Amino acid sequence: MPKRRYRAQSELPLAARYVAEGEMRIARQKELIGRLKRNGRPTDQAEAVLKGFEGSLLQLRNHLEIMQVLTEPERY
């Protein structure tokens, strides 16, 4: 197995965990925004943070997808 594939395979669970953590972070941020709105508080900064989290999660998902492709068995 090439070194690159082995490394991706060994780091796959870590990348999946980062994606899951990102999803949880986004859920908590959305809850915060909901509380702020219910209390009549401004949400601009919280929504900006949410957009940043969503951008990061997209990158994490893309990275995970690449790692999954790298760990697929060769089809020859």
Give per-residue pLDDT as tens, 23-73. Answer: 999 999 999 999 999 999 999 999 999 999 999 999 999 999 998 988 887
Record the pTM.
0.81
> What's the confidence (pLDDT) of residue 63?
94
| DSSP secondary structure code for residue 73 in this structure | P
- pLDDT attached to residue 6: 57
Between vectors from CA 21 to CA 10 and to CA 34, what angle results, nearest 5°? 165
- pLDDT over 70 at 7, yes or no: no
Show me where the domains of the chain are located.
Answer: 3-67
Instruction: Tell me the C-alpha distance between 50 and 44, whole Å.
Output: 10
Q: What is the DSSP letter of 76?
A: -
Query: Is residue 12 pLDDT above 80, yes or no?
Result: yes
DSSP designation for 74? P
Q: Which residues contact 26 (CB under 8 A, 6 or more apart)?
A: 50, 53, 54, 57
